[in-house]
Amino acid sequence: AALDDLIEYMTVDGVRVGVYDATNSTQDRRNYIISTLGKAGIHCKKLFIESICDSQKILDENIRKVKLGTLDYRDCDPEEAVKDFMERRERYKEVYAEVSDADGSYLKIINSRKFIANNIRGYLPLKIVHFIMNLHTLPRTIYLSRHGQSEYNLLGKIGGDSGLSKAGLEYARRLATFCKNEICVEKNIDESTGEEQKNEVPARLWTSTLRRTKETAQFIENGTLTHKWDNGEVAEWLQMRPRQRRNLDELYAGGCDGLTYKEIEQQFPDEFNRRQKDKLAYRYPRGESYMDVILRLEPLAHEMERTREPILIIGHQGIHRIIYAYFMGLSREEAPYVSIPLNTVIQLKPHAYGCDEKRVCLMDKTEMFGDGQDEPVTSMPVSNPEYAKDDPVMNAPSC
């Protein structure tokens, strides 16, 4: 049934990649897949991806952190679940045949450390290989924060390169405290005393090249930390060293940069209406669209996947909408409407079957200011039932 669904999906106009997730552990099964796709008229490149793990340590971690959280074992006793999984694994080993040259193009992943690529050609297959080589199974946390309130926010203007307002500077100070107490530490409970222990851990800091994000990061401490890595190497780590990434700059509004939405509606009514109809693909005159932003964020997405340390990204509303949608599994069409309020840190914890989210407001409601970028309500795709009025993400309050 799953293979039939894949074939149906691959016949949809515009589809470029289909993923068939199954064990496919025998040569006969893999031959059947290729044959079935051919008979269905699906003439595309086929790439087998095989994950091999012979490290008991990695297996134990995978079972404990990943497999026990799947639908198969969610309500089972942990010991019984582990026993059942290991029995399944032994049964597969009896018939298992490694992917070989006879299967054509393949990528072997061995203990997430070694990669073997065979006969892989073409733009998309090579992009897939590059993406997979940046993945890992270790837990990590990504923190998203918009810059503090800027002078342009106060005036209701979009774009520009203004500095922070008084309220924005206050948020920057509170964000620095949050980094010190939450992002740069690992919290554990001492089993003997029951007390919480905090250990400093390496953490990363990225900002855009625009003034308002750099000013938001100015109070974050940048001390030196001695850290021992997984391979046993001991090295000095510059904690929260700010790295300015041009890819993180806000969506460029081109000829509308520095205007309010009301001014855009009055001066460029045709442009205003075009944006209302298709916010995702609309490109400002001599500016950018959300589709353009998606393309320039792709290299950073790979880098975020590769990163193992906690990372704080101080960016902008449009940029964080795309990053948030990427990790939360939202479609491109949904991304431009995600609520990314000021004065709020969004904590994302990706895992094998999704991503956990937590939002922390660092300024209470009496201190909150509007972000000056309230968009016309009619730009929301109200005709789409996916965007329900009570949706906590699409219509999240500021705090």
Gap between the Cα atoms of 274 and 264, Å rounded? 12
Q: How many CB atoms lie within 10 A of CB 174?
A: 16
Gap between the Cα atoms of 116 and 129, Å rounded? 10
Single-letter code of the amino acid located at 393 = V
Bridge partners, 314 (sequence order): 145, 207
Say if residue 310 is exposed, middle or buried (CB neighbours under 10 Å; 0-12, 13-18, 19+). buried
Gap between the Cα atoms of 167 and 144, Å rounded? 19
Gap between the Cα atoms of 161 and 129, Å rounded? 38
Gap between the Cα atoms of 5 and 2, Å rounded? 5
Catalytic residues: 21, 53, 147, 250
Report DSSP letters for 195-226, one per residue.
-EEEEE---EEEE-SSHHHHHHTTTS---EEE
∠ at Cα 259 (256, 264), nearest 5°?
A: 65
The structure tokens 């999984």 sit at: 85
